Homo-oligomer: A and B are copies of this chain.
Amino acid sequence: MAPVITRLQSYSSIEEYDEQIPLGEYLFLRVCQINPRLKSVFGIPGDFNLNLLEHLYADSLLREKGVKFVGLCNELNASYTADGYSKIIQGLSVLITTFGVGELSALNGIAGAFAEYAPVLHIVGTTSTKRADYAKTCGAQGVQNFHHLVQNKNSLMAPNHDVYKPLVEPFSVIQESLTMDGFDNEENLKKIDRVLIKICQENRPGYLFIPCDIPDITVSKARLEEAIITQELAEDDIESKQLVENITDRILDKLYQSSKPSIIGDALVSRFHYDEVFTKFISKLPSNFVKLFTTNMARNIDETLPNFVGTYFGKVSPTTELQKNLEQDTDLLIDFGYLNVETNTAGYTRDYSNIKDYIEIHPDYVFMDNEYIAVKDTATDRRRFSMGDLIQSLNQKLDTTCFINNNKLINNISYKFTPRKWHTDDATIDQCVVPQSKLIDFFNDYLQPNDILMVETCTFLFAVPDLKFPPGVTFLSQSFYGSIGYAIPATLGVSLAEKDLGTNRRIILVQGDGSAQMTVQELSTFLRHDLINPKIFLINNEGYTVERIIKGPTRSYNDIQASWKWTELLKIFGDEHGARHVAATLKNAAELENFRSLPNNDKIELIELIMGKMDAPERFSYISGNKPPVASVPLQ
Contact = CB atoms under 8 A, between A and B. Distances in A.
Contact of A372 (B68, B156, B517, B550): B156
Interface stretch (A144-152, A388-396, A532-540): A144-152
Interface string A150-169: 11011110001001100100
Interface stretch (A312-320, A504-512, A569-577): A569-577
B561 A524 contact: yes
B57 A555 contact: yes
Contacts of A341: 145-147, 151
Contact of A115 (B127, B150, B342): B150
A544 B69 CA distance: 15
B550 A147 contact: no
A73 B636 contact: no
How many copies the complex holds: the figure is 2
Given A50-B552, A372-B140, A517-B73, A481 B101 contact: yes
A457 B520 CA distance: 22
For chain A, the bracket of interface size reads: 35 or more
Given A115-B151, A482-B101, A564-B524, A145 B342 contact: yes
A568 B559 contact: no
Interface in A302-352: 340-343, 348
A31 interface: no
Given A140-B372, A342-B144, A114 B521 contact: no
A2 B635 contact: no
A608 B347 CA distance: 51
A483 B551 contact: no
A538 to B, nearest CB: 13
A26 interface: no
A340 B155 contact: yes
Interface in A33-89: 43, 45-48, 50-51, 53-54, 56-57, 68-69, 71, 73-74, 76
Contacts of A160: 170
Contacts of A104: 107-108, 111
Task: For the complex of A and B, list the 7 residue pairs with the smallest distance between their C-beta atoms, beginning with the closest.
Answer: A104-B108, A563-B574, A101-B483, A528-B561, A50-B551, A565-B572, A74-B518
Given A1-B551, A134-B633, 14 more contacts: A53-B552, A54-B555, A56-B557, A69-B556, A100-B483, A101-B108, A145-B340, A145-B341, A150-B170, A155-B365, A156-B364, A517-B524, A528-B561, A565-B576
Interface of A: 1-2, 43, 45-48, 50-51, 53-54, 56-57, 68-69, 71, 73-74, 76, 100-101, 104-105, 107-108, 111-112, 114-115, 127-128, 131, 134, 140, 143-148, 150-151, 153-156, 160, 163-164, 167, 170-171, 173, 212-213, 340-343, 348, 362-365, 372, 376, 378, 480-485, 517-521, 524-525, 527-528, 544, 547, 550-553, 555-561, 563-565, 568-569, 571-574, 576, 626, 633, 635-636
